[in-house]
Chains A and B, each alone.
Chain A
Amino acid sequence: MRYLPHSDHERAEMLGAIGAADIGALFSAVPKSALKSFKLDLPDHSPEFMVEAHMRALANKNQAGGDGPFFVGAGAYRHHVPATVDHLIQRSEWLTAYTPYQPEISQGTLQMLFEFQTQVAKITGMDVANASLYDGSTGTAEAVLMARRLTRRNKIVLSGGLHPHYRDVVKAYLKDDADLVCLSPSPEGQGDILEHIDGNTAAIVIQTPDFYGHLRDLKGAAEAAHAQGALLIVVVTEVVSLGLLEAPGALGADIVVAEGQSIGNALNFGGPYLGLMATRKEFIRQMPGRVCGETVDADGNRGFVLTLSTREQHIRREKATSNICTNSGLCALAFSIHMGLLGEAGFVRLARLNHANAIRLADALDGVPGVTVLNQTFFNEMTIRVTQPAAGLVERLAKRGILAGVPASRLLPEDPEVNNLLILAATELTTEADIAALCAALTEELA
């Protein structure tokens, strides 16, 4: 087998050095009834070209984003990733290193994390960021728990504009919790969260752009929350929006959670993705996840280490702020390289291009009979109401080679009021021709 270095001769030699009669002797602690007492219904080893053929056959059964017009978003976005990013993250020294527990021989990863934390703090307008979480949804659940620790209050209010999967993850993490208030879906962008804030509220959670694409007023929300001693958690599922929208930190956010996939990371059918978390300086000791900090070595040279680990499970065990261990290191690297390539000039230009294409999409959709665009505001994503159930419409458009967006009913099957709603995103990759093809097909299907 090509990945296993020993010859049978070497195995015998090593068993001799150990003083074991055979390999079975090394498994002597295993109960006899359980040791190799079965025949596995699995194939034996296979040459590389045969494995590749098997995997390609599976991949070919999927319709890739690049195969036709593509408008699918709702928490994961199809952006261009520069070739440099994927080349660099496949270097052995990045790809095959472990978590940087030995800082003397992990300065590459550590300095990258320090740069990454700086980038995340800057785009969110916050004081500090951690070295990543799994994704935006689990990050939101972690932020809610963090807010409870910080305020020693329990009530959490989730906006109706929060991505339904994010809401579901928070619900699972807080199972049976009477203090969790989930507001009804608000596809028209209606705001109703402020009236739920009271003296028991730990935090309100607001996504902007929200699940339906509407932009939300963070400043007013922050003022209302702070007036009651509650925290404002801001969720961003499309991180490119921060190139054009005011930083949540500048508007009073206390914790910002974002899905970082859009920068540097492919769609990957939903994962691996990249959870970003940033907060105020005074809250760092309640922040979950790893943090990298600057220090000096024995010669006085600048260096970096993982720090503040007294919050973490390997030190604090049952008193830790979170059980998280492995996070999204390589996705953070991809993000940091892409963001480093963009810089402020490129990031802002990318955001403008996304917004400009979304405006073109919205204006074109507005002209299709049977379509109503619900958004007054948006960044690169919007919701339309059509004259028939969106789920069936999307299936028929897929048969024409157009991936037209996400029917809201796919995420909210229990809510018949969203049946005719379709959520569409445009990015820098969306062309005039894509929009024209979509609108022509929609016109026919809705006629």
Chain B
Amino acid sequence: MSMNNQGRPTGIGTAGTGASGSALLPDEPLLFEIGDTEHSGVDLPEVTLTNDRLGGFGRSTRLDLAGLTEPEAMRHYVRLSRLNHSIDSGMYPLGSCTMKHNPRLNEKMARLPGFADIHPLQPVSTVQGALELMNQLSHWLMTLTNTAAVALSPKAGAHGELLGMMAIKAAQDAKGEAHRRIVLVPESAHGTNPATAAFLGYSVKPIPARDDGTVDVQAVKDALSPEVAAIMLTNPNTCGLFEPQVIEIAQAVHDAGAFFYCDGANFNAIMGVVRPGDLGIDAMHINLHKTFSTPHGGGGPGAGPVVLSEALAPFAPVPFVRRGQDGLELVEHVAGEALGRVTAFHGQMGMYVRALTYMLSHGADGLAQAAEDAVLNANYVKARLEHLFSVPFPDYPTMHEALFDDSFLNGTDVSTLDFAKALIDEGFHPMTMYFPLVVHGAMLIEPTESESKQTLDRFCDVMAELATDAKSGNSARFTAAPMKAPRRRLDETRAARQPILKWERPADLPQAAE
């Protein structure tokens, strides 16, 4: 059966391009094209319901869900998995994403029945070990950041941002300062920052970057007013630079009665080396799935605990752990001005286990060494490539990311996107592209501490060779890339204009009979 380009049914053949369908890079039909509604890979006893209690709300429509037996399922998902690049199979230098090694001890610990098979609402007396774990994780996070409190429950970084900004809003409302309606956000910020501020009804005032890639202190001071609630600042910033005047910015923000929200997405560069609390932050989320290596899992789950200053600690959401007479207590309700609850239950316990395991493995010395190695690796990449690439901000050493712009491609027919796609054919995941927005055609490379010198050398050799080739006018290699991936470039415009968001049963393929 040949492949149907319009949809189904799909066979294991190809359209004859050689782009896919080999034994090691299989094309895989959809689950619904392999399975049917009668097959199942789960054996369950059959029961008859003589006197149901469904009150007439029972189902009369069919589900039309395809099922697979166990061997079919195993093969389907193994074959699909082979179409993915992963950190275990190759370097994944996505700037701002911190794709570091994911130790398997963390996975093993998260699956202990004492962590995985406990219910969030079983009696607190039966989960003292879980509360102790939350307490220990809190201690590590507060110590590494030198802050007064931590709210563990946010489900991811953006959720942590939301919580942090909610806490700021609650604190200002309690002080009778609800008139503070403006949040300052540097232009280089992650998109989640302005989205979070807007979500809470703040108006966003952008702060321009200086020519050297750092935030303009004077611009912050000029923008501050009695209407400003907070600044949301990423440090190290998204250009990979440590904000040299961050203490002065914090002072000015506090003097104006506003709060300093720090986006902690880049904490990996400074953990164990710099404590954000010493810089004057009031709230900062920590992406456990970046800095503390709980795996990204193809897009989550994450975890985004927020550390809070003394001023914001009373506005932390529930739940939190405290020591009581009979051991640890879980505080699930607080009367008064606290902001309440941002998620059901107690947050991402599975991620807490992995993150604490990771922290205990590294220790304070290992975390500092990891941060220093991450910075070393980024500077090494920058040093090895700066003669061929263009560095937009050469004034400071970079932190954990090397940032280039696209001016080295001027006069070629190659764009940043083309260049990045050519990396795929060389076995590397592309770097982050076109972010931060303050740099034209940005290429943001974050090697992390997990890459050996040997791998970095090979990556730099490939990058240098690609740059030389692009400048020599060989644009076809780039504009046609990737050629060796399971798919060539995909038509994203078509996907958006005529959205096909689920499999539809074709008219000539009826469901199995009742």
Partner of A355, one of B37, B52, B132, B350: B52
Residue of A nearest to B153 (CB): A271
In the complex, A97 has a CB within 8 A of chain B = yes
- The stretch of A150-158, A226-234, A375-383, A433-441 that contacts the partner chain: A375-383
Q: Contact string, B106-138, partner A, CB cutoff 8 A, digits 1/0?
A: 011111111111111111011111101100100
In the complex, A52 has a CB within 8 A of chain B = yes
Are A403 and B119 within 8 A (Cβ)?
A: yes
Residue of A nearest to B454 (CB): A5
Bound-state Cα–Cα, A346 to B67, Å: 8
Which residues on A sit within 8 Å (CB–CB) of B502? Answer: 114, 117-118, 121, 128-129
- The stretch of B57-65, B222-230, B408-416, B470-478 that contacts the partner chain: B57-65
- Asked, given contacts A66-B117, A307-B492, whether A55 binds B370 with beta carbons under 8 Å apart, the answer is no
Are A290 and B345 within 8 A (Cβ)?
A: no
Residue of B nearest to A35 (CB): B274
Are A44 and B366 within 8 A (Cβ)?
A: yes
- Asked, given contacts A6-B452, A302-B10, whether A319 binds B198 with beta carbons under 8 Å apart, the answer is yes
- Asked, given contacts A100-B299, A246-B61, whether A29 binds B396 with beta carbons under 8 Å apart, the answer is yes
In the complex, A347 has a CB within 8 A of chain B = yes
Partner of B19, one of A96, A105, A123, A301: A301
CB distance from B352 to the nearest CB of A (A): 9
Are A104 and B486 within 8 A (Cβ)?
A: yes
In the complex, B273 has a CB within 8 A of chain A = yes
- Asked, given contacts A61-B114, A327-B156, whether A300 binds B87 with beta carbons under 8 Å apart, the answer is no
Q: Which residues in chain A, 83-123, are within 8 Å of chain B measured between CB atoms?
A: 84, 86, 88-109, 111-112, 114-115, 117-119, 121-123
- Asked, given contacts A29-B241, A31-B247, A350-B42, whether A169 binds B146 with beta carbons under 8 Å apart, the answer is no
Are B111 and A86 within 8 A (Cβ)?
A: yes
Bound-state Cα–Cα, A284 to B42, Å: 34
Residue of A nearest to B398 (CB): A26
Which residues on A sit within 8 Å (CB–CB) of B107? Answer: 90, 95
- Asked, given contacts A134-B343, A327-B299, A344-B62, whether A298 binds B127 with beta carbons under 8 Å apart, the answer is no
CB distance from B476 to the nearest CB of A (A): 13
Are A377 and B369 within 8 A (Cβ)?
A: no
In the complex, A196 has a CB within 8 A of chain B = no
Bound-state Cα–Cα, A66 to B64, Å: 33
In the complex, B180 has a CB within 8 A of chain A = no
Residue of B nearest to A412 (CB): B333
In the complex, B264 has a CB within 8 A of chain A = no
Q: Which has the most chain A C-beta neighbours within 10 Å: B340, B453, B487?
A: B487
Are B279 and A34 within 8 A (Cβ)?
A: yes
Are B143 and A30 within 8 A (Cβ)?
A: no
Which residues on A sit within 8 Å (CB–CB) of B462? Answer: none
Q: Contact string, B395-415, partner A, CB cutoff 8 A, digits 1/0?
A: 011010000000000000000
Residue of B nearest to A295 (CB): B495
Partner of B360, one of A20, A51, A104, A163: A51
- Asked, given contacts A58-B114, A313-B192, A326-B300, whether A163 binds B344 with beta carbons under 8 Å apart, the answer is yes
Bound-state Cα–Cα, A57 to B406, Å: 53
CB distance from A7 to the nearest CB of B (A): 9
In the complex, A297 has a CB within 8 A of chain B = yes
Which residues on A sit within 8 Å (CB–CB) of B199? Answer: 322-323
Q: Contact string, B470-507, partner A, CB cutoff 8 A, digits 1/0?
A: 00000000001010011111111011100111110000
Bound-state Cα–Cα, A305 to B146, Å: 42
Are B159 and A134 within 8 A (Cβ)?
A: yes
Residue of A nearest to B296 (CB): A98
Which residues on A sit within 8 Å (CB–CB) of B343? Answer: 134-135, 137-138, 165, 169, 271
In the complex, B394 has a CB within 8 A of chain A = no
Bound-state Cα–Cα, A296 to B350, Å: 37
Bound-state Cα–Cα, A333 to B296, Å: 13
In the complex, B295 has a CB within 8 A of chain A = yes
In the complex, B342 has a CB within 8 A of chain A = yes
Are A376 and B490 within 8 A (Cβ)?
A: no
Which residues on B sit within 8 Å (CB–CB) of A44? Answer: 363-366
In the complex, B451 has a CB within 8 A of chain A = yes
Which residues on B sit within 8 Å (CB–CB) of A99? Answer: 296, 298-300
- The stretch of B75-83, B253-261, B305-313 that contacts the partner chain: B75-83
CB distance from B494 to the nearest CB of A (A): 5
CB distance from B360 to the nearest CB of A (A): 5
In the complex, B238 has a CB within 8 A of chain A = no
Given contacts A34-B275, A296-B490, A322-B195, 5 further A-B pairs with CB under 8 A are: A45-B363, A106-B85, A114-B502, A294-B500, A343-B40
The 3 closest A-B pairs by CB, nearest first: A343-B67, A59-B114, A270-B345
